[in-house]
RNA sequence: GCGCUUGUAGCUCAGUUGGAUAGAGCAACGGACUUCUAAUCCGUGGGUCGGGGGUUCGAAUCCCUCCAAGCGCGCCA
C-alpha cells in the first residue's frame, strides 16, 4: 500500500495545483482509511485543506479533483465526493490481489521498508540503577523499548540497544556502605546500618550472596572493633550481582541489549578532564562558588546546572553530558531516550547540552513515558522502595508470564498513565487479548494441519491450480506441502483469486495495510499502533473463520486457504516484532 | 508557587496532528457448537469527550480560564 498509492496521489495532486506554499498545505493532507467503512477503502481531506488555502468551496474543489485527477488513477475503481468535501475511493480488487502477491513473495520480510535508509539509531531504555530490583515501570520501558527497536529495524534503521549502568558516584558508594554493614554482620561484627540506606531486604540478599560465595575475601583486616573492608571491591561485586539479577529479569521478558554501558567507563583515564577542557574552550561552562556550572539557561533550560561540585567531584549531570557526547562520537545519528515521567526534568537540560555543542536537537528523541500503577484485587498497590515489600517486575513476570506482560505494556501509548490490573492479566482465558491474537494463529495452523490430510486433487478451485499441478514436476502432494511450508505461491496467478464476500475482501485489505502500520508506528514512536492492528487482523480473521469454510467435505477452498496462509504470514511478522510467541496449538 | 503530563462508555484504552453519525476491548444483557479448535462468532444497551468561555464553514483535538490526578522543581542519582 504505502509507496505506490501515495506517490501517485501526491504526484497527481501537485501537478495540477500551482501552490507556492505547497509543502505547508500538503502537510495537512492525508490519505487514510475512512472512519466508517461504508465510505470506501481510502479517503482524503485534500479538498477541504485546499479550500481554506484557495478560499474556495470544498465541494467544488473536490469535484474538480475528482474529475481531472483521480479519474486517471488506474488502481481506483470508484470515486465519490461526500458531504463536507471528502473524496472517497474504492480500490480495484485487482490492485488488492497484486498487493497480496507481495506478501507471498516477501514472506518474513513482508512489511519491512527502507525508509530509515541505514540511519544509525541509539536506543536507550530501562537503565535502572543497579541498587535495587526492577519495578513494574521498568517492565513497561523494557517492553516498549525492545518493541520500538524492532520497529525501527523493520523500517530500515540500524538500531543499537543499550543499557546505561549507573555504577559510579555517591549513589553507589552509599549502596556499598549498606552492603558492608550487612556483610560484616555475617562475621558477628555489628555496624550501624546507614539511616538513609537502601531497603534492607534487597541489601541483605546481596550481602548474603557475597558471604556465601566469597567468604571473608573483602575483609582486609579482621578486627572486631574497627575492621578494614575493601568497600570498593565489595561495591563492585554487589553491582555485579544486582546487574545479573536485572539481566535475568529482563531476559524473562525477552528484552535484550547490544551493549551494557558502564557509567564508570566515562571517567576512565583523563576523559572527563578532556571534556571539561573542551566545554571551557567552547565557553559553555563557568566557575562560580567553587563549582563548575553549565550555561544551560542560555539554551532553553530554566537555570544553569552544576557539572563539578565545589568538592571537585562530578555530578550526575556531568555523566549525562559525557554519555551524550560519547553516543555522538560513536557515530549515532539518532539518539532515542525512553524515560519515565519522573525524569521529564532532564529533557530541557539534555537538549540544552546538545544545542550548546552544535548538535541538531532533532537528533535527540526523548520519549517520556507515564508511570504504571499496579492494581490488585481492585486496589492500587503502593510502590515504595523504602518499605521492604514491593511487587517487582520479576514477581509480575512469574505471576503473569512473558507474553501477556509484553502485550499489555505495549497496548497503551507512552503518554497514557496506565493501571496494570494483575488479576485481569493473570487470567489465561478468553478475556486476554494476547490469547485472542495467538489463537487466530493457532487456528490457521490447525486448518493447515487438517488440509494436509486432504487429497490435493480435491482442491476446489479454478484452472490455475490445476495447471500448476499438471506442470509441476513434483507429484501433487509435494507441491502442496511446498505451498504450505514455503509459501511458494510465486507461480500462482493471484488475479484469479476471488473474493466471494466482503469479509474476505476486508481481510485481504487489512493484510495489505500492514506495511503502513509498520511505517506509522515508527514515525509516531507508537508500538501500540501495531498491537491494535494485530488485534484487528485477528478479529477479522476470527469473523472470517466463523462465517466461511476453508475446508468442507474433504475439499479445500483454495482462495480462502491462500488468504489464511497470508494472514499467517502477517500474524507471525507482527508477533515477531512484538516478540510474542506464535503458537501452533492452544 | 512554577513547570511537564494526563482527564473520552461502569473499567482499560484508541481517536492518524482541525473533519463525516466520537470508536474498540472488557464488564452487562440476549443469541450461535452434528462444523477447519466456542480461548470463537452475531446482536443489544451504554457518552453534557473534567467544567466554562473563545477562535471558524467545522473543535475531543488549537487558545484562555477554572477543577482534579500523577510527576518534577538540590553542588541527590
Window 129-148 of chain A: CB closer than 7 A to strand B = 129
Q: Average the pLDDT over each of A13-17, A46-50, A115-119 and give the range with the smallest value.
A: A13-17
Task: With a cut of 60, say whether residue A383 has pLDDT above it.
Answer: no
Mean pLDDT over residues A81-102, rounded?
88
Nucleotide with smallest C1' distance to residue A316 CA: B77
What sign has the CA pseudo-torsion A134, A137, A139, A145?
negative
Task: With a cut of 60, say whether residue A474 has pLDDT above it.
Answer: no
- pLDDT-derived band at A386 (thresholds 50, 70, 90) equals very low
Give dist(CA A31, CA A2) in Å, integer: 10
d(CA A422, C1' B46) / Å: 26
First-to-final CA distance of chain A: 33
Statement: the CB of A447 is under 7 Å from strand B: yes
- DSSP, residue by residue, A440-482: HHHHHHHHHHHHHTS-GGGEE--HHHHHHHHH-SS-HHHHHHH
E strands present in A120-204 = 120-124, 158-165
Among A26-40, A82-96, A437-451, the range with the most confident prediction by mean pLDDT is A437-451
**In this predicted structure, what is the pLDDT of residue A169?**
87
Task: With a cut of 60, say whether residue A276 has pLDDT above it.
Answer: yes
d(CA A526, C1' B16) / Å: 11
Task: With a cut of 50, say whether residue A111 has pLDDT above it.
Answer: yes
* Element containing residue A219 per DSSP (H, E): strand A219-221
Please list the helix, strand and coil fractions of chain A in percent, rounded to the nearest 5, in that order: 55, 15, 30
Does the pTM of the predicted model rise above 0.80?
A: yes
d(CA A581, C1' B15) / Å: 29
- pLDDT-derived band at A490 (thresholds 50, 70, 90) equals low
Which is more confidently placed, A566 or A490? A566
Nucleotide with smallest C1' distance to residue A48 CA: B19
Q: What is the pLDDT of residues A26-82, one digit of tens each?
A: 667 777 888 888 888 888 888 887 777 766 778 888 887 787 767 667 788 888 888
Statement: the CB of A256 is under 7 Å from strand B: no
Nearest CA to A142 out of A340, A323, A335, A346 is that of: A340
Q: Which nucleotides of B are covered by protein (CB under 7 A)?
A: 3-7, 11-27, 35-37, 39-42, 57-58, 70-77
**In this predicted structure, what is the pLDDT of residue A491?**
66
Average pLDDT, chain A: 85
Give dist(CA A49, CA A405) in Å, integer: 42
Q: Average the pLDDT over each of A54-63, A106-115, A163-172, A518-527 and give the range with the smallest value.
A: A54-63
Task: With a cut of 80, say whether residue A22 has pLDDT above it.
Answer: no
Task: With a cut of 90, say whether residue A568 has pLDDT above it.
Answer: yes
Give dist(CA A462, CA A395) in Å, integer: 56
Statement: the CB of A52 is under 7 Å from strand B: yes
Q: What is the pLDDT of residues A135-172, one digit of tens each?
A: 888 999 999 999 999 999 999 999 999 999 999 988 89
Window 339-358 of chain A: CB closer than 7 A to strand B = 341-345
Nucleotide with smallest C1' distance to residue A40 CA: B20
Q: What is the pLDDT of residues A347-366, one digit of tens each?
A: 989 999 999 999 998 899 99
Nucleotide with smallest C1' distance to residue A30 CA: B16
d(CA A317, C1' B70) / Å: 25
d(CA A330, C1' B35) / Å: 61
**In this predicted structure, what is the pLDDT of residue A385?**
47
Amino acid at each position: 500500500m504505502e509507496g505506490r498509492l501515495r506517490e501517485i496521489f501526491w504526484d497527481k495532486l501537485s501537478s495540477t495545483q500551482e501552490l507556492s506554499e505547497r509543502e505547508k498545505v500538503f502537510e495537512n493532507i492525508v490519505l487514510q482509511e475512512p472512519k466508517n467503512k461504508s465510505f470506501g477503502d481510502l479517503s482524503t481531506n485534500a479538498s477541504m485543506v485546499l479550500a481554506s488555502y484557495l478560499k474556495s468551496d470544498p465541494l467544488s474543489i473536490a469535484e474538480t479533483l475528482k474529475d481531472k485527477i483521480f479519474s486517471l488513477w488506474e488502481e481506483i475503481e470508484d470515486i465519490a465526493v461526500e458531504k463536507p468535501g471528502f473524496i472517497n475511493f474504492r480500490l480495484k480488487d485487482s490492485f488488492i490481489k497484486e498487493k497480496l502477491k507481495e506478501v507471498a513473495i516477501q514472506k518474513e520480510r513482508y512489511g519491512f521498508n527502507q525508509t530509515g535508509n541505514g540511519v544509525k539509531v541509539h536506543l536507550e531504555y530501562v537503565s535502572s540503577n543497579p541498587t535495587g530490583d526492577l519495578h513494574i515501570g521498568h517492565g513497561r520501558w523494557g517492553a516498549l523499548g525492545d518493541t520500538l527497536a524492532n520497529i525501527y529495524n523493520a523500517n530500515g534503521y540500524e538500531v543499537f540497544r543499550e543499557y546505561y549502568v549507573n555504577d559510579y558516584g555517591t549513589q553507589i558508594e552509599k549502596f556499598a556502605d549498606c552492603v558492608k554493614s550487612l556483610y560484616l554482620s555475617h562475621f558477628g561484627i555489628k555496624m550501624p546500618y546507614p539511616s538513609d540506606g537502601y531497603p534492607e531486604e534487597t541489601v541483605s540478599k546481596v550481602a548474603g550472596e557475597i558471604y556465601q560465595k566469597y567468604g571473608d575475601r573483602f575483609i582486609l583486616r579482621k578486627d572486631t572493633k574497627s575492621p578494614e573492608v575493601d568497600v570498593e571491591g565489595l561495591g563492585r561485586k554487589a553491582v555485579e550481582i544486582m546487574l545479573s539479577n536485572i539481566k535475568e529479569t529482563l531476559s524473562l521478558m525477552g528484552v535484550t541489549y547490544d551493549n551494557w554501558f558502564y557509567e564508570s567507563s566515562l571517567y576512565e583515564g583523563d576523559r572527563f578532564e578532556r571534556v571539561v577542557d573542551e566545554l571551557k574552550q567552547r565557553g559553555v561552562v563557568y566557575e562560580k562558588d567553587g563549582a563548575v556550572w553549565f550555561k544551560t539557561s542560555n539554551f532553553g533550560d530554566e537555570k544553569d546546572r552544576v557539572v563539578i561540585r565545589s568538592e571537585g567531584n562530578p555530578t550526575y549531570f556531568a555523566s549525562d553530558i559525557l554519555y551524550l557526547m560519547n553516543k555522538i562520537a560513536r557515530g549515532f545519528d539518532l539518539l532515542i531516550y525512553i524515560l519515565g515521567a519522573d525524569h521529564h526534568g532532564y529533557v530541557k537540560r539534555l537538549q540544552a547540552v546538545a544545542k550548546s555543542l552544535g548538535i541538531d536537537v532533532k537528533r535527540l528523541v526523548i520519549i517520556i513515558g507515564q508511570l504504571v500503577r499496579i492494581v490488585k484485587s481492585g486496589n492500587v498497590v503502593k510502590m515504595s522502595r523504602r518499605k521492604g515489600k514491593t511487587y517487582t517486575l520479576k514477581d509480575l513476570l512469574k505471576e503473569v508470564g512473558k507474553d501477556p506482560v509484553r502485550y499489555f505494556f505495549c497496548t497503551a501509548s507512552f503518554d497514557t498513565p496506565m493501571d496494570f490490573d494483575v488479576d485481569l492479566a493473570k487470567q489465561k482465558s478468553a478475556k486476554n487479548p494476547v490469547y485472542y491474537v495467538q489463537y487466530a494463529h493457532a487456528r490457521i495452523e490447525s486448518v493447515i494441519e487438517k488440509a494436509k490430510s486432504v487429497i490435493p486433487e480435491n482442491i476446489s478451485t479454478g484452472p490455475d491450480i490445476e495447471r500448476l499441478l499438471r506442470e509441476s514436476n513434483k507429484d501433487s502432494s509435494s507441491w502442496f506441502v511446498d505451498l504450505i511450508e514455503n509459501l511458494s505461491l510465486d507461480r500462482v496467478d493471484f488475479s484469479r483469486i476471488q473474493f466471494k464476500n466482503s469479509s474476505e475482501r476486508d481481510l485481504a485489505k487489512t493484510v495489505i495495510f500492514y506495511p503502513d502500520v509498520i511505517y506509522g508506528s515508527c514515525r509516531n514512536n507508537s508500538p501500540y499502533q501495531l498491537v491494535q492492528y494485530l488485534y484487528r487482523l485477528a478479529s477479522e480473521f476470527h469473523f472470517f473463520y466463523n462465517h466461511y469454510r476453508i475446508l468442507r467435505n474433504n475439499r479445500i477452498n483454495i482462495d480462502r486457504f491462500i488468504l489464511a496462509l497470508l494472514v499467517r504470514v502477517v500474524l507471525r511478522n507482527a508477533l515477531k516484532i512484538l516478540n510474542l510467541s506464535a503458537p501452533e496449538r492452544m
